[in-house]
Amino acid sequence: MNRLAPLSEEPTNDEEEDNNNSSKKVSSWRNWLKSHFSLLFNKKSDLKILLSVLGCPLFPISPHAGQPNTHVSSSAEYIIQHFTAATGCRKLEGKVKNVFATGKVRMAMVDELGSSGSSTAVGPTGVSQKGCFVMWQMVPDKWLIELVVGGHKVVAGSDGNVAWRHTPWIGAHAAKGGVRPLRRVLQGLDPLAVSAVFSSAQYMGEKRIMGVDCFVLKLSADHTDLADRSDNTAEMIKHVIFGYFSQRSGLLVYLEDSYLTRIQSPGSRPTYWETTMATKIEDYRTVEGVMIAHGGQSSAIITRFGDNLKVGPAITRMEETWTIDDLAFNVPGLSMDCFIPPEEVQKDYPEENLDWRSPLHRTPTPPENEKLASPGPPPIRVSITEMAGRGVFATRRIGSGDLIHTAKPLVSHPSLSSIHSVCYFCLRKLKPVTSSEDCNVRFCSQECEEQSKVFVAVERKADWSAYDDYCRTRGLKYPLLVKRLACMVVSGVASADCLDILQPASLSSEMISEMGEGFSLLQSAFMKAKARDECMAFLTEQWYINVLARFRINSFRIELAGGSYEDLHSLAAASVETEAAVGNAVYMLPSFYNHDCDPNVHIIWIDNVNARLKALREIEAGEELRICYIDASMDHDARQTILFQGFGFRCSCLRCSSGD
Ligand SMILES: [Zn+2]
Ligand SMILES: [Zn+2]
């Protein structure tokens, strides 16, 4: 199959491909060499080299490929068993559909002080480039990474069939060879993938690295895969990987991989390029009970050598420091559209392969006896924006009035004034009751009662009168959400860090000190109820503050519109007549929407806490989707004041810029 220019894992050429077939081989070889020489000796291109090499390298072995029939030594097996036990990753098996991660990177070229100098003795040259990334992974083999460094954005993805990359300087290009995972995922981010790839590894012995005694496991890319990744100009000779597992902790603490490429022009002697990348993997922390690495350093060394070079080997070094900010499993609403390669890469596909990848490509006329196909996943993706961190973007055109997606809350709670008139779980309005059953919370359905059973049981063990009074007298609503979340964590239906992915409000020391009373009341309610210590370990003042800081700017005030949501006009009329808010809730995806005083999307609630995100007007593919966090009918100054006090930013949307 003819593919586009290969996804080179070395620095790449920014000149246009010569499309003349007869001279293609020679010219692509010339371009390859020219680009490498010019890039390696031209400091202006540092950022391109950094992004090309460190940005989104692939790992040569897929965790989902069939295991090769190699003999697995019992030592390797023991090391992997130790690793899976240490990370606790078995509990994710079969349960994780997708993983979402965001993080930061800092990249720099490193001065070469003699090829034998140790990398710790050399420092970065020039400025180090800062950046951030968003990563989606859908099990198995589908992934997407967007990385912005120094104002340049690189996107790479895999739809399970082809891996591709898009850079500002060469556009989109497909990877040669089979689909492989992102190397970043193997850097301690996905322990299941680590154990899957290394389960067929060879045990190499023990080695002390960075002061840690490690067991060393080795993997090699097989010959067919290397051949697939080669072409007429560049031949992949070998690609080996070493994983260093701490003897004490069992964790993967160091990952090294190295590949050798032979570049040969017709009638001349070959040049060899060796690229070695080594990563320290650190800062393991638990996410939903599984140990995930949250930081580390990678260094890459590219060495060029060969008979036709007058000088000795030429070496280029670079370094990256990375941290993971947020990581979450099974984020709802992840669209398969995320993983569709750019159009240029799609041209490589035979047409008949297209239909499974997206609802957009489905054959238009299904058999008559077949039910109407489900509308498919929501047409959105979460990505980094230039101004406001994360944002939500349309992956295709969305019609005015279309329901974009729905969202269930992570945590919700009725307001104290509605507590006897709405469902304690879904906030649906209930019929008035006789006074005899007035004192207890109620549910709209067996289903809601069932879903609340465990955390309500925890809640009922404690006396909340002092805490509720504290909320009522001060008119506080967020501490009620904290109480609900605490009960959910104690009962095991939520993890203590489930909100960490959301942006926290920045709190003044005054605000923090005011939270002390709420925390003491919450803690004493649990203590008087004699909750078991091991269940309460998470409940620290810092946890209380962290959670409250997230509720502050991510909670939605739930006002039920009732009636049919399909008619926007009747909805607008209904929302005027509706009563005060029935409660508050926090959601995952809706929290990623940025604000606009003239929004293109709005969030509404019809009869319960489940939110609906609807398009207010026609939205083009690629456009950012924004909601209005406040009452949009307020004037300019009032909006600015509320947004600054409540959300900590000055709005510079088009409407605000125009002075309206
Ligand atoms: Zn309900
Ligand atoms: Zn504005």
State how far the Cα of 604 lies from the Cα of 579, in Å rounded to an integer: 14
- For residue 344, pLDDT over 60 is answered with no
Compute the distance from residue 512 Cα to the ligand 1 centre, in Å. 34
Ligand closest to Cα of 594 equals: 2
593 or 262: whose pLDDT is higher?
593
Average pLDDT score over residue span 257-272: 79
Give the range among 185-199, 329-343, 449-463 with minimum mean pLDDT. Answer: 329-343
Weakest mean pLDDT among 67-76, 243-252, 501-510? 67-76
d(CA 272, CA 261): 6
Ligand nearest to the CA of 444: 1
Q: How far is the CA of 452 from the centre of ligand 1 (A)?
A: 10
Query: Is residue 425 located within the same domain as residue 528?
Result: yes
Q: How much distance in Å is there from the Cα of 423 to the middle of ligand 1? A: 5
Query: 584, 477 in Cβ contact below 8 A?
Result: yes
Ligand nearest to the CA of 647: 2
Note whether 444 and 308 are same-domain residues.
no
353 assigned to some structural domain: no
Please report which confidence band the pLDDT of residue 333 belongs to, taking 50, 70 and 90 as the band edges: low
Q: Ligand 2 center to residue 43 CA distance, Å?
A: 41
What is the per-residue pLDDT across 519-564, written as a single tens digit (0 to 9) for each? 999 999 998 887 777 778 899 999 999 999 999 989 999 988 754 3
Distance from C-alpha of 608 to C-alpha of 583, rounded to nearest angstrom = 10
pLDDT category of residue 337 using cuts at 50, 70 and 90: low
Measured over the CA atoms of residue 506, residue 419, residue 422 and residue 581, the dihedral's sign is negative
Taking the C-alpha atoms of residue 285 and residue 270, their distance in angstroms, rounded to an integer, is: 46
pLDDT at 109: 83
- CA gap 448, 444 in Å, rounded: 7
382 CA → ligand 2 middle, Å: 21
Does a structural domain hold residue 81?
Answer: yes
SS3 296: strand
In the prediction, which pLDDT does 460 show? 92
244: CA distance to ligand 2 center in Å?
51
How many CA atoms within 13 Å lie on the side-chain side of 26? 6
For residue 660, the CA-to-ligand 2 centroid distance in Å is 9
Instruction: Give the pLDDT confidence score for residue 316 in this predicted structure.
Output: 81
Ligand at shortest distance from the CA of 657: 2
Q: Which helix (H) or strand (E) holds 655?
A: helix 654-657
Under the banding of pLDDT at 50, 70 and 90, the label for residue 434 is: low
Kindly give, in sequence order, each residue whose CB lies less than 8 Å from that of residue 210, ignoring residues fewer than 6 positions away: 253, 254, 280
Domain closes at, from 500, 534, 556:
556
- Which listed ligand is nearest to 632 at the C-alpha? 2
The fraction of the chain above a pLDDT of 70, given in percent, is 76
* pLDDT score recorded for residue 580: 63
Q: Which ligand is nearest to the CA of 634?
A: 2
Distance CA 365, CA 6 (A): 36
Residue 369 within a domain: no
> Mean of the pLDDT values across residues 390-401?
87
CA of 429 to the centre of ligand 1 (A): 8
Determine, yes or no, domain membership for 569: no
pLDDT tens across 418-431, in order? 888 899 999 998 87
pLDDT at 9 over 60: no
| 387 within some domain | no
Q: How far is the CA of 531 from the centre of ligand 1 (A)?
A: 27
CA of 598 to the centre of ligand 2 (A): 7
Q: Which ligand is nearest to the CA of 641?
A: 2
Q: Are residues 119 and 240 both part of a single domain?
A: yes
DSSP code at position 122: -
- Across residues 333-351, what is the average pLDDT? 55
Ligand 2 centroid to 636 CA: how many Å? 8
Mean pLDDT value across residues 644-652? 88
Note the Cα 459 to chain centre separation in Å: 33
- For residue 443, being part of any structural domain is answered with yes
CA of 622 to the centre of ligand 2 (A): 21
Q: Based on the domain organization, do 337 and 420 belong to the same domain?
A: no
Ligand 2 centre and the CA of 555: distance in Å? 19
Give the confidence band of 83 by pLDDT, cuts at 50, 70, 90: very high
Domain boundary among 301, 321, 348: 348
Question: Which ligand approaches the C-alpha of residue 560 most closely?
Answer: 1
pLDDT at 433 over 90: no
Q: Considering the domain boundaries, does residue 539 fall inside one? A: yes
What rounded mean pLDDT belongs to the chain?
78
Q: Report the separation in Å between the CA atom of 425 and the middle of ligand 1, taken as the mean of its atom positions.
A: 5
Whether 478 shows a pLDDT value over 70: the answer reads yes
Ligand nearest to the CA of 608: 1
* pLDDT score, position 45: 60
Q: What is the distance between the terminal CA atoms of the chain, rounded to a whole angstrom? A: 56
pLDDT at position 264 is 74
Of the segments 342-351, 472-481, 532-541, 642-651, which one has the largest average pLDDT value?
Answer: 472-481
Q: Would you say residue 536 lies in a domain?
A: yes
Given 348, 368, 392, the domain boundary residue is: 348
| Two tokens, residue 353 | 């392969």
What is the 634 CA–ligand 2 centroid distance (Å)?
A: 11
451 CA → ligand 1 middle, Å: 9
Q: What is the pLDDT of residue 288?
A: 87
Query: How far apart are the CA of 333 and the centre of ligand 2, in A?
Result: 27
Q: Which ligand is nearest to the CA of 424?
A: 1
Does the structure show a pLDDT above 70 at 36?
no
> 338 and 425 share a domain?
no
Ligand 1 centroid distance, CA of 485 (Å): 18
- 596 CA distance to ligand 2 centroid (A)? 5
Give 593 Cα–ligand 2 centroid separation in angstroms.
Answer: 14
Q: Taking 90 as the threshold, does the pLDDT of residue 169 lie above it?
A: no
Q: State the chain's maximal CA–CA distance in angstroms.
A: 97
- Distance from the alpha carbon of residue 448 to the mean position of ligand 1, in angstroms: 5
Positive or negative: CA dihedral 110, 111, 114, 119: negative
My answer on whether 317 and 442 are in the same domain is no
User: Do 260 and 339 share a domain, yes or no?
Assistant: yes
User: Is the pLDDT confidence value at 21 over 50?
Assistant: no
Q: Measured in angstroms, how far is the CA atom of residue 646 from the centroid of ligand 2? A: 14
Domain count, the chain: 2
The band of 656, judged by pLDDT with boundaries at 50, 70 and 90, is: very high
CA of 414 to the centre of ligand 1 (A): 11
pLDDT at 246: 93
Least confident of 168-172, 329-333, 435-439, 504-508: 435-439
Q: In which order are the strands placed within the sheet that holds 390-394?
A: 380-384, 390-394, 624-627, 594-595
More confident residue, 563 or 138: 138
- 653 CA → ligand 2 middle, Å: 4
Report CA(630)–ligand 2 centroid distance (Å): 10
Average pLDDT over residues 136-162: 83
Distance from residue 413's CA to the centre of ligand 1 (Å): 12
Same-domain status, 420 and 339:
no
CA of 627 to the centre of ligand 2 (A): 11
CB 559 within 8 A of CB 578: yes
Residue 413 scores a pLDDT above 90: yes
How far away, in angstroms, is 553 Cα from ligand 2 center?
A: 17
Q: Which one of the ligands is nearest to 427 CA?
A: 1
pLDDT in tens, 172-200: 777 777 788 899 999 999 999 999 999 88
**Same domain membership, residue 269 and residue 146:** yes
Residue with tokens 């070889």: 29
| Cβ pair 373, 351 in contact under 8 A | no
Question: Does the structure show a pLDDT above 60 at 115?
Answer: no
CA of 403 to the centre of ligand 2 (A): 24
Tens digit of pLDDT for each residue in 550-606? 999 899 999 887 543 333 333 343 343 344 688 999 998 898 899 999 999 999 888
Q: Is 639 exposed, middle or buried (0-12, 13-18, 19+ CB in 10 A)?
A: buried
3-state secondary structure of 128: coil
Interval 508-522: pLDDT, tens: 888 898 899 999 999
Compute the distance from residue 555 Cα to the ligand 1 centre, in Å.
19
Domain limits for position 158: 21-348
More confident residue, 603 or 52: 603
| Mean pLDDT comparison of 31-40, 128-137, 244-253, 384-393, highest-scoring range | 244-253
Provide the pLDDT for residue 277. 93
The two three-digit tokens of residue 334, written as one number:
């992840």
- Which of the four pLDDT bands, split at 50, 70 and 90, describes residue 354? very low
Q: For residue 450, how many other CB atoms are within 10 A of its CB?
A: 11
